[in-house]
Amino acid sequence: MTRIVGVVGRKNGGKTGLVERLVGVLAARGLEVATMKNAHHDARLDVPGTDSDRHRRAGAARVLLATPEGWAMTGGAPEGPEALARRLAGADVVLAEGFKAAPWPKIEAWRPECREGPLAPAHGIAAVASTGAPQVPLPVLPLDDTEALAGFALKLAVRLL
């Protein structure tokens, strides 16, 4: 059964670093961890002019590029977060970075250096991981206590439908 939990926050709040550390801790515990990242800019997996780019430009609905190091697939029309998460079914846990509007529970990464206050308690945020002491009506965990955050994330994670 695949479970999912999100990590959200403002720019430079520590989201990616937290996800990176959580992956390491959870994988060390023997869990298969998958991640998904919501980008607010165009991210190209293909280099213009390569064979796979030519396939996509010719109209292929999906292009899977296999290399000795692994594989990547580009798809057609954008999908909602739930549909994207289902593509990762089979992993023990999915860590979803971003996707504030998604229905799964989330941990917010927030640092006092952020120009704005925490997003919490909006967006289904259940806790804040911080280097400071934000005034939020939710649990606040130390951003650098990855072991505690990993345990909290696993308790928070819900079944991926």
Which domains are seen in the chain, by residue range? 3-40+79-159 (3.40.50.300)
pTM of the model: 0.88
Report the largest interatomic distance among the alpha carbons of the chain, rounded to a whole angstrom: 53
| 82 three-class SS | helix
C-alpha R_g of the chain: 17
List the pLDDT tens digit at each of the 161 positions of the chain. 899 999 999 999 999 999 999 999 999 999 999 999 988 766 666 778 888 889 988 988 888 888 899 888 887 667 889 999 999 999 999 999 999 999 999 999 999 999 899 999 999 999 999 999 999 999 999 999 999 999 999 999 999 87
Helix (H) or strand (E) holding 74: strand 70-74
DSSP single-letter state for residue 56: H
